[in-house]
Structures are given as structure tokens and as C-alpha cells.
Chains A and B, each alone.
Chain A
Amino acid sequence: MNFSEETLMAYADNELDSQTRSAVEAAMANDPAIARRIAQHKALRDRLKATFDKVLDEPPPQRLVDAARGVPAIRREGNVIPLRRRQAPRTAWPQWATMAATLVIGVIIGQFFLRMPTSGAPVAARNGQILANGTLAQALSDQLASTQTPDAPVKIGLTFKSKTGHYCRTFTMHASGTLAGLACRDHNDWRVQVLAQSAQGESNSTNGGASYRQAGSEMPRSVLQAVDDNISGAPLNADAEASARGARWQ
């Protein structure tokens, strides 16, 4: 029987139905030329496998693992320019570069606000948790980093999804100094994960007037650490932030 080259190739690739397969095998037994051609097809396949399978033994470069896990480019080591231009930088990541100058005075959950009347305080304790309150809660729910005004009382920084699947947002605000923190959505509240005071506001005046305009770009290390500990993937870009707000951060 005469078989096309494609049939012999398909035999070598184990792609034939059993009937054709048997026919080819019968032909092979009688015709060494057919057997030789199939052997060639198999040999090429084996050679290709042997050559390229070596790649499987190499640990993938960290940059690829980081790309898969969504580690932001700014923090990648050995970052290279990809073949195509990268997507626009994610919201607010570049700001991180400027925060080395920020000195963290302390993480001040709770204690800081003991002297403030509950109604006006940016945070409130409820059921053993520290929740955003008043203008802070409102800004966390309504404000977009991409559209907020420079004089907004609360500035939203990064928005991202936590490892537990909740939306989290960093913020800075001016209240008895410059405060920065991270809050994560918990049902209809914003649970404050960390709240820290930035030293810069204090160095100018206790009212912090001069440093106020910088509030949007300062992020104490303790807050950044909390972001690192909680973030899953990359921060949301402007579109994703807007649609998350549209879904009421659920």
C-alpha cells in the first residue's frame, strides 16, 4: 500500500486512528523504506524535544515570575525593556520613589484620636475594630485618585485588591499633622489597617499648613509595609478604580 508522507508523519506523531495505524504497521513490516521514513520523522521529533527540553530545566527569570504574579515594574529587579512598550504606569506607583524622605513617627492606631470628639474623628472604634469615619470614610468610598482635586481634605493614593479579595486604599489626610494610612473594605465599612503620622507635617507647624500640599505624595514606611503585606497583584489603574467604585467596592 502506498501512504502519503503526511500519513507516515501522523503515524510518527501518534495521530492515526487504529485502522490506519494497523495498515501502516503492516506496510512497515513489508517495506523497509516506509519504516525508515517513519524512523526519520520520529528521530527529528526526538531531536527537537531533546534540544528544547533543556529550557525546562532552567529556572525562569525572576522578571517573568514577577510579571505573572503582578509585582509592579518599579520593584522588579533586572527589569528589562520588553519588545513592546509597556502599559501606562499604574496609578501612583511612581510616588513611592519620593517617600524615602518621610520619617515615620509612629503607628498610632486608636490612641491618637482619644481626645477628639467621635463625630468629627476620621476613625472610630466599633465592635473592636477601627473603622474609617466622617470625611475619611466618605473619601474612601467616593473619591478617585485620578480625579481628586489638589485641595481635597483626604487624598487617595493606591487602590488595590488584598490577598483576601477586599479592596484596599491608601490615603493621606491632614488632621493634627499629616496622617497616612491604609484602609480595606469590610462589608460597608472601611477597616483601618494602619494609621501613621508623617513627620513632615510636624516639622513645620503643628497645624501642618506648609506641608499640607505634599500630603498626597507622602507615605510612611509602616503604611507601605502594610501595602506590601496585603497587596495581591498590581494596584488598580484609573479605569479599574472607577469600576470598583461603581460596584461599591464589593
Chain B
Amino acid sequence: MTGPGVNSCTDVRGMHASLDQLREQIVDLLPRLRRFARTLARDPHDADDLVQVAVERALARSEQLRPESRLSSWMFGILRNAWIDESRARGRRNRIFAPEELGENVGDASSESHAEALSLQDALARLPDEQRTAVGLVLVEGLSYKEAAEIMGVPIGTLTSRLARGRDALQSMLADTTGAMQ
């Protein structure tokens, strides 16, 4: 079973016929790629940079896309790998916790949901990468455990335990935040 949202997007199996078609399918996927990137990178601009890197990488190695594979899964995998590379290369984790980044760029939501979104995103940013990726793929993108495990290159058991730990950590952080705000 898959969660909501999985089939909401152009996801053509076995039809990656031409590069032009692939390009347009990627354009159609951009909203979801941006959403997933936003769960990985705390800063929206960094998230879009990540999407751009992933799109360029995907196009550069489009011949590696197997006909039977789902384009969105393939792209999520590339995006995740790009994020891992970036994290390592730039020591991003240090920046994530830099105080001046907290509270920036939370969009144009109303002030109430603004506070909630902020705390949720901050909590998510504090998770270890592997847990955050699991949460992003399953809970935000709505992928099945199986798809998420394949993208992360781990057995389903590993995926579920990362997801469980990530959820647990989020629950307790959000409970703390909520308590502090009230």
C-alpha cells in the first residue's frame, strides 16, 4: 500500500523515451522535488539549490534511468545523494544549528501556522539525516516503506526503525516546543 500523494504526479513507467520527454516529466516533478528538498535542507534557497543540482545530475546520467523504475523515486534518490554530498562537503550541520538561520525564510503563512511550521521545521532539522530522509520520504512524500527503503538503499527493517526513531524524536521535540509556547 502506498500513502496519499504517490500517484498524484506525472510518473510514467517504461516511457522515458526521449530526453525531451524526460525534461518535461522532470518539470512536472519539480513541485514534489522542492517539497522533498525542503524536508532535507532547512533553508528554502538551499533546498532549491539542491533540486537544481539533482536535476542537472539526473539529466547528465539519464541513461541510468531504467525503464521499469519510477522517475520520482529515481529523482528522490539523486536528490538525497546530492544532499549527503553537500552535507559532507560543506559541513552543513554546523550551519543548520546557527542561531541566525532559525526563524528565517518560513514563507508567507499566517502568524499562527507560521509558529507551528517553524517549530516543526526546526525539529525536523535537528534529526539525523537518515531519520529526516525517512520522515521526508514516507510522511511528507507519502511513499511506501518499500519505495523509501529502495531509495535509501536499506532493508525495510532499517527504514522502519529510522522512521520510528525520527517520529519519536519529533514527537518529543514538538511536545517540548508546544509546551514552551503556551
Contact with B along A1-26 (1 / 0, CB 8 A): 00001100110011100000000000
Q: Is the CB of A54 within 8 A of B109?
A: yes
Of residues A44, A47, A54, A55, which shows the largest number of chain B Cβ atoms within 10 Å of its Cβ?
A55
Q: Is the CB of B52 within 8 A of A87?
A: no
Contact with A along B105-124 (1 / 0, CB 8 A): 00101000000110011001
Asked if A14 meets B1 with Cβ closer than 8 Å, knowing A48-B120, A56-B32, A70-B23, the reply is: yes
Q: Is the CB of A48 within 8 A of B135?
A: yes
Counting CB contacts under 8 A, is B96 at the interface?
no
Give chain B's interface residue range (CB within 8 Å of chain A). 35 or more
Q: Is the CB of B89 within 8 A of A84?
A: yes
| Neighbouring B residues of A165 by C-beta, 8 Å | 18
Tell which of A61-69, A108-116, A183-191, A209-217 binds the partner.
A61-69
| Neighbouring A residues of B109 by C-beta, 8 Å | 54
The CA of A47 and the CA of B56, in the complex, are separated in Å by 31
Contact with A along B1-40 (1 / 0, CB 8 A): 1011100000000000011100110110011101100110
Asked if A82 meets B35 with Cβ closer than 8 Å, knowing A44-B139, A49-B140, A60-B30, the reply is: no
Secondary structure of the B contact surface, majority rule: helix
Q: Is the CB of B53 within 8 A of A84?
A: yes
| Neighbouring A residues of B53 by C-beta, 8 Å | 82-84
| Neighbouring A residues of B163 by C-beta, 8 Å | 9
Q: Is the CB of A15 within 8 A of B140?
A: no
CB distance from B62 to the nearest CB of A (A): 11
Asked if A82 meets B27 with Cβ closer than 8 Å, knowing A14-B1, A41-B167, the reply is: no
Counting CB contacts under 8 A, is A229 at the interface?
no
Residue of A nearest to B28 (CB): A68
Q: Is the CB of A64 within 8 A of B23?
A: no
Q: Is the CB of A83 within 8 A of B86?
A: yes
| Neighbouring A residues of B18 by C-beta, 8 Å | 165
Q: Is the CB of A51 within 8 A of B117?
A: yes
The CA of A85 and the CA of B56, in the complex, are separated in Å by 12
Counting CB contacts under 8 A, is A29 at the interface?
no
Counting CB contacts under 8 A, is B171 at the interface?
yes
Secondary structure of the A contact surface, majority rule: helix
| Neighbouring B residues of A55 by C-beta, 8 Å | 31, 34-35, 38
Q: Is the CB of B55 within 8 A of A67?
A: yes
| Neighbouring A residues of B69 by C-beta, 8 Å | none
Asked if A64 meets B34 with Cβ closer than 8 Å, knowing A9-B160, A15-B144, the reply is: yes
Counting CB contacts under 8 A, is B78 at the interface?
no
Q: Is the CB of A52 within 8 A of B20?
A: no
Tell which of A15, A47, A84 touches B85, judged by Cβ atoms closer than 8 Å: A84
Counting CB contacts under 8 A, is A248 at the interface?
no
Q: Is the CB of B46 within 8 A of A83?
A: yes
CB distance from B86 to the nearest CB of A (A): 5
Residue of A nearest to B18 (CB): A165
The CA of A14 and the CA of B45, in the complex, are separated in Å by 33
Q: Is the CB of A9 within 8 A of B23?
A: no
CB distance from B177 to the nearest CB of A (A): 12
The CA of A63 and the CA of B27, in the complex, are separated in Å by 11
Asked if A68 meets B27 with Cβ closer than 8 Å, knowing A44-B167, A49-B139, A82-B49, the reply is: yes
Q: Is the CB of A65 within 8 A of B35?
A: no
| Neighbouring A residues of B107 by C-beta, 8 Å | 54
Counting CB contacts under 8 A, is B164 at the interface?
yes
The CA of A56 and the CA of B37, in the complex, are separated in Å by 12
Contact with A along B148-182 (1 / 0, CB 8 A): 00000000000011011001101100100000000
12 new A-B contacts, CB < 8 A, other than A48-B139, A55-B34, A64-B48, are A41-B167, A44-B139, A47-B120, A49-B140, A52-B35, A55-B35, A56-B31, A64-B34, A67-B52, A70-B59, A83-B86, A84-B82
In order of increasing CB-CB distance, the 9 nearest A-B pairs are A60-B30, A55-B35, A68-B26, A56-B31, A67-B55, A68-B27, A83-B49, A52-B140, A48-B139
